[in-house]
Structure 1
């Protein structure tokens, strides 16, 4: 069962990290980019994410389709969020306006995704934690310096606990005995964590940690507490048995959110200042990886996701034409047209367009890549108000080569999206003799698609957008990105391919083994064959990839492995 980490970014997107290889495998748009995603909670079954958006909305994301399935209006400026252990309810801390004398907590019924209760709490509620039995919810009130305790049976506050200055994150031990509260400090950064005995709802000790403690996570075995310290770029590790800090881990700038994998092996820490996530191995308490995500990453949640996703009880299979690949391009051509001796007399009109596929050549058998040669004809009507008011037609030809993925048995089609024609005007007072020339410009936008008749289940249909295609052909690896090698054969000793860069550029392509460089070669603008022998091989194909280390795109054809 795969384990994914979900990271909230301030451009209102969620980055999806596969924790098996620490790569971002998807980015989910949530709402409009001017909203801000802050915190994430995942349901116990891993099926849904509940994401707070600061402008009064909680978005619900289906982890099977990685799409927003509904939105829920809650209170002002929702921040912290948590799901009850049975997955039945979601509690959302609405921090409210800066001048608000109190905040609220919205209670969402996950069966209907409707708010069923709104509970007044202290000023600026931020953190949310729920006891393992689901009976109580603990809310940190940052500007009240206390924690509200909500009885879930009545959804009322039953007590309030004074803690440190400007409490933020809170977490409860798996046995339900203790809560750990990060006191960040307001006028000046604090460095304490309050420990609450949940049987008495009293603070039993205060632990000194790093500067500006912000969020808290506890290992599944309940032995250790991890606290992000935004003020000194560290994570403090607390031994629950002794309630003492046993390690301070440097993790990079502005550590904010933190979550621990279900097996307890790793802690994922969002670094708000440099758009990365640091990965801590809990057995050594050292940073073992960093992952680039979206802008200003804040909240993070981790869960096991059941794949394949469950199909609906009312299943439907349909036969439809699937678009396997699509690319869009623009072309422009300027032609010379005779003009009259009259002023501003030349007019141009598009009468007809036609896109033809002249030739299809396979360039990569394994990836089903083909080179497509196209011809576009545009029929124009030119009207010349001078020279006896002549009107004539002219045919303009365009030629284009594009690279597409064409599956076995698939078909190609070419569509003209738009075609326009315009002629340069003669300035007022200027006279030009007949049989002189003037410029007319023809512009065409077209889309080429590869299609095939397939059978699909309706819930898995997704919309696709055309990409801008490359005229260089082949597999395109942009600077800084990786391309996985084919899975057949399963073990690889060597890699062969043809490659080139953009005109006038040179880039290095490196073979990575589990993210570590193995061997590399410099690629130039000239299309040439390359062979990379892997030292110490063979290696599992699933662990290998090609990465572009340069500043130019690299175009690869005829990729084969042995």
Structure 2
């Protein structure tokens, strides 16, 4: 077992070439994976107001259960960086977390899970509200990518990008419960309310696969656009958005009927991660191949603003984010 204190030991300061702004409720944090930095954006003015150095290749991020720290996962630097979600000021860095490409807390906050994409494994940690203790490393060939949890916190689901599979891991036993093939390059995951259906973005295809997590079977495919990648619930009780990273569109899915009910087009290349404004009017999206973040007006489904950031923008977080229903990691 490996015990790791979140708030002691491995913390180190990281210098900031541009001072982060003072605390504000309307800040947006974007990870510039190709720059080893994050960008801090004022939501109201849609201007970059600061940057902060990170480790190499920060891809995804996650708020801690107490809402006091935002965890930035530096996959190549093998570290987790904790920043203030209000102003991106570095609080501490936890070293020796190997290849944390994707990350998430279970809904009951007992478990913290990372997908080590380049190492072909998933690491499961016990979490006591302050410390992470490694419970088990699980080999999962090949290329574990995105993850989400069952609402009862018993299972974490992981897409295996290069083997084209979906795996279900039992958290109590830290063992693989089942795996099924789903298609080419599965990526983002989203569970519909009541754990009825699990949606899988097929980046190597042009659809979203619907998996019955109880029957362990693919039950439907929803045509979207080429490169279906990641999800964001629109918090209206009916719809979830999925980015199509090759088609440069976003599809709107009705998760009750499992139908594609609309498209957002005329976007910049590489739409990837998304976040929703607190009033649910604007959908922000990172354009992975364009060095920009976009703001989409949902009533008109139009791209209304673009914001230049660093290379390969990926994860995005809102300080005043709307509540996610049901709970899912980004």
Larger radius of gyration: 1
Q: For residues 193 and 152 of structure 1, what CA distance do their matches in structure 2 show?
A: 26
CA contact (8 A) 2:121 2:137 kept: no
Q: Does 1:146 align with 2:169?
A: no
- The change in CA–CA distance for 1:282 and 1:44 in structure 2 (over 3 A counts) is farther
Task: Say if 1:45 and 1:16 are closer, same or farther in 2 by CA, change over 3 A.
Answer: farther
Match of 1:492 in 2: none
Which of 137, 143, 152 is the matching residue for 1:118? 137
**Structure 1, residues 196-247: CA drift from partner, whole Å, max 9, x if none?**
2233332221111111112122222441121111212111111222222222
Structure 2 residue 100 is matched with structure 1 residue 78? yes
Query: What corresponds to 2:180 in structure 1?
Result: 161
**In 2, distance between residues paired with 1:174 and 1:24?**
35
Q: CA deviation at 1:174?
A: 4.3
Instruction: For residue 78 of structure 1, give the secondary structure of its aligned residue in structure 2.
Output: coil
Q: Matched residues in 1 for 2:138 and 2:287: separation? A: 32
**Does the residue aligned with 2:313 lie in a helix, a strand or coil?**
coil
Aligned to 1:302: 318
Match of 1:255 in 2: 271
2:64 to 43, 51, 62: 43
- Determine the structure 1 residue equivalent to 2:304: 288
Distance 1:195 1:22 in 2: 36
- Cα distance change on mapping 1:221 and 1:59 into 2, 3 Å: same
The normalised TM-score by structure 1 is: 0.48
Structure 2, gaps ≥5 residues long:
1-23, 322-330
For residues 491-510 of structure 1, the aligned pairs below 5 Å read none
Say if 1:143 and 1:118 are closer, same or farther in 2 by CA, change over 3 A.
same
Q: Which runs of 5+ in 1 are unaligned?
A: 306-562
Q: Structure 1 pair 151/18, CA: closer, same or farther in 2 (3 Å)?
A: farther
Where relative contact order (Cα < 8 A, 6+ residues apart) is larger, the structure is: 2
**Greater CA drift, 130-139 or 225-234:** 130-139
CA contact (8 A) 1:146 1:164 kept: yes
1:66 aligned onto 2:89:
yes
Secondary structure at 1:140's aligned position in 2? strand
SS in 2 for 1:117: strand
Which 4+ stretches in 1 moved above 6 angstroms? none
Would you say 1:105 and 2:120 are equivalent positions?
A: no
Aligned to 2:29: 6
CA distance in 1, matches of 2:45, 2:110: 32
Kept in 1, the 8 Å contact 2:124–2:174? The answer is: no
1:26 to 27, 34, 50: 50
Q: Is the 8 A contact 1:30 1:68 kept in 2?
A: no
Q: C-alpha separation between the residues in 1 aligned to 2:92 and 2:35?
A: 19
2:255 is equivalent to residue 240 of structure 1: yes
1:281 Cα deviation after fit: 2.6
Q: For the Cα contact (< 8 Å) 2:288–2:313, is it kept in 1?
A: yes
Q: Which residue of 192, 207, 223 corresponds with 1:173? A: 192
1:231: which partner in 2? 246
In 2: Cα distance, 1:20 partner to 1:69 partner: 28
| Contact 1:53/1:78, CA 8 A, preserved across alignment | yes
Say whether the 8 Å CA contact 2:273–2:314 is kept in structure 1. Answer: yes
Return the alpha-carbon distance in structure 2 between the equivalents of residues 232 and 83 of structure 1.
Answer: 31
Cα deviation for residue 130 of structure 1 reads 1.9
RMSD: 2.4
TM-fit CA distance, 1:269: 0.9
Q: Distance in 2 between matches of 1:166 and 1:261?
A: 29
Indicate whether 1:89 and 2:111 are aligned.
Answer: yes
Distance (Å, rounded) in 1 between the aligned partners of 2:107 and 2:234: 16
Please state whether the residue corresponding to 2:101 is helix, strand or coil.
strand
Matches of 2:190 and 2:297, distance apart in 1: 20
**Residue 169 of structure 1, CA deviation:** 1.2
Structure 2 Cα separation of the partners of residues 294 and 229 of structure 1 = 21
Separation in 2 of the partners of 1:151 and 1:3? 38
Aligned partner (choices 220, 227, 244) of residue 212 of structure 1: 227
Q: Quick check: which one's strand share is greater?
A: 1
Give how far 1:3 is off: 4.9
Q: How many residues align?
A: 293
